[in-house]
Chain A
Amino acid sequence: MIQLFHVSKTFGPTAALKEIDLRIRTGEFVFITGPSGAGKTTLLRLIFGAEPPTEGQIVINGINLGRISGTKLDLLRRKIGFVFQDFKLLNRRTVSQNVALALEVTGEKRSVVRKKTHQMLRAVGLATKEEAFPIELSGGEQQRVAIARAMINDPLILLADEPTGNLDPDITREIMVLFRSINLRGTTVVIATHSRELLRNTDQRIIVLHRGKVLE
């Protein structure tokens, strides 16, 4: 469960978010949309705990982000997967090393890391690309690696910031199918997008942001 109470965020004189009250239930699939500069990315970063709100409270699964810091926040982040438009993969590491990274940081056994990495890459259809390097993959494949990395710790929440922004329509459909299957396994999925194509014909909840305010 994600809860925001009167959340505002300002960067200097600019208000990125204004008095946001929001509640996203466990297992929900939500789109956050709005024009560029509406505050979509800032909202995701606040939910992830990458930045503190200027005002208000954010509660993730009963934990108030304002009351934890340091290692506790890092540990909470392991329960939140994050997928980006630019994939954020390490080009010096292979596909399996990139995915394994999220488990390695937990100090998990090597055998478990290997097994889960392999399983996760199979789940996203990249079992044959384990030893490839990110630059050898297509955009869609790179995004699937990023999703595999975000999902390997079985997160409660998956946040995605314009995950299909760099992908063509066919690949976009594949990635969205992947997100839906993740959601069907019980993970709360929050996708920020300004793509009208993505929102057309969807029956999922859509939260519209405009100039830092929710117009849902």
Chain B
Amino acid sequence: MVAKLRLWSIYFKYALSSILYNRLIYAISVGTIAISLLIFGAFVLLSVNVRTWIQGWGQTLSISVYLKDGIDEGTREKIRMAIGTLQGAEIKGFITKEKALQDMKGMLGSQAGLLDGLTRNPLPASFEVAFRNVDRKKFEPKRIKEALEKVAGVDEVQYSEQWLDQFEGLLYVLKVGGLAIGGLLCVAVLFIITNTIKLAIYSRRNEIEIYKLVGATDWYVKAPLLIEGALQGVLGALIALGILSAIHFILSFKAIQVFGLPFMDFVFLKQSYALGILSLGLVLGLLGSFIAIGRFFKF
């Protein structure tokens, strides 16, 4: 046991001395790994935030109930009562036709003059309804939409799910894109590590020959090379996580808006994701070394 520990300390010593000796090659390799894992990590970070945002927004799903023009107070009250019977529904406000037009002018800004030519206000009055703490999986906005549209005086119901669907689509694109780019980057990282270790083996082939001459086992020669690969992968991953963390730190001070809507808290990767990226670096490093070593020695 003690002899094994002694050997491991020698393996680490040789690995570190080799890294120091070939420091430029290793710096370039670690830098490239860091950039690759950074791109992959950025996709993960973006996906995590979009998901968090969707989940957060899902807690306050909202619908807009547009009313027909010219309905009386009684009909409007009936609509208000119909909305009140929906589970978790809370009327956040009633927007009159005039307020809707005013809001539209506000949104158009300098182009507001376009509306001056209108002979009548085409915008409908509406109830803005929020659903608090509803289970998004059980929430059926389509059914609510159909039911409310049957109520007399209701012209149309629009719900935020339509927005969310678009974001779910964006999340899907991010996931697939992240996986595809991540996969390609993993292959690139593997290629880089394999070649760095191959260069290390070439530069140390005399040394390796001498080790074998004095009776070193294959493992004695291979272990430092595997450690070198693992260290490259882990160092690259740590640098990538460090940069991601710095980017997160900077962005968390800015108010981010997506399609005009304020983005929720910009969250960093969960510990498990960060550990995942670190493990990915480690596995790629070991695998790259393994491939390079396999070309020179039989396992």
Contact = CB atoms under 8 A, between A and B. Distances in A.
Interface of A: 70-71, 74-78, 82, 88-90, 92, 101-102, 104-110, 149, 153
Nearest to B214: A102
A88 B217 CA distance: 18
A107 B4 contact: yes
B115 to A, nearest CB: 81
A153 B218 CA distance: 19
Given A78-B214, A88-B213, A102-B215, 5 more contacts: A71-B218, A74-B216, A77-B212, A101-B211, A153-B215
A195 B26 CA distance: 46
Contacts of A82: 213
B210 A74 contact: no
B96 to A, nearest CB: 85
Interface of B: 3-4, 6-7, 10, 21, 206-207, 209-220
Nearest to B210: A88
A102 B218 CA distance: 14
Nearest to B213: A82
A105 B211 CA distance: 8
Contacts of B6: 107, 109-110
A77 B213 contact: yes
A70 B297 CA distance: 11
B215 A101 contact: no
A75 B215 contact: yes
Nearest to A153: B215
Which of B4, B214, B219 has most A Cβ within 10 Å? B214
A104 B207 CA distance: 14
Nearest to A84: B213
Contacts of A149: 214
Given A104-B10, A107-B3, A107-B4, A88 B209 contact: yes
Contacts of B211: 101, 105
Nearest to B13: A104
